[in-house]
């Protein structure tokens, strides 16, 4: 029902910043909680951040608290994740995800294809 397309990834030096975008189509965007997951080679896929339907609540994994900020603009049908003070361990493929129920979501209904973030040391 919902298609998610990530953008904004790239190569950045440690300590730098990137802003990821997740553009949605094909569904009623405001009815979904939106989140970000990431997966690095040889590591398990891990939750990064989530934002509620109206944007009033956010939830972050401990490793990114204070450095990453998730936001959404329902009029633009887009979710953003500002990533500051990036570390080499942040290097991963980042996925945008959508969940219809639960806060914070435990199950996700739709996944994007991912955008690569590489942080050099």
**Torsion angle in degrees (nearest 10) through CA of 106, 1, 58, 68:** 100
Answer for the pair 93, 78: CB distance below 8 angstroms, yes or no: no
Residue 27: predicted pLDDT: 82
Element (H, E) at 77: none
pLDDT band, very low/low/confident/very high, at 82 (cuts 50, 70, 90) = very high
pLDDT band, very low/low/confident/very high, at 87 (cuts 50, 70, 90) = very high
Whole-number average pLDDT of the chain? 96
Residues near 31 by beta carbon (within 8 Å), at least 6 away in sequence: 53, 100
Q: Using CA atoms, how far apart are residues 36 and 20, in angstroms rounded to an integer?
A: 10
Coil, strand or helix at 62: helix
Judged by average pLDDT, the poorest of 19-23, 27-31, 48-52 is: 27-31
pLDDT band, very low/low/confident/very high, at 106 (cuts 50, 70, 90) = very high
């Amino acid at each position: 029902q919902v298609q998610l397309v990530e953008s904004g990834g790239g190569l950045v030096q440690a300590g730098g910043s990137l802003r990821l975008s997740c553009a949605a189509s094909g569904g009623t965007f405001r009815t979904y909680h939106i989140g970000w997951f990431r997966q690095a080679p040889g590591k398990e896929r891990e939750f990064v951040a989530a934002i509620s339907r109206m944007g009033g609540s956010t939830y972050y994994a401990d490793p990114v608290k204070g450095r990453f900020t998730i936001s959404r603009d329902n009029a633009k049908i887009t979710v953003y994740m500002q990533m500051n003070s990036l570390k080499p361990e942040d290097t991963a493929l980042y996925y945008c995800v959508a969940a219809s129920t639960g806060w914070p979501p435990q199950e996700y209904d739709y996944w994007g294809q991912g955008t690569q973030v590489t942080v050099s040391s």
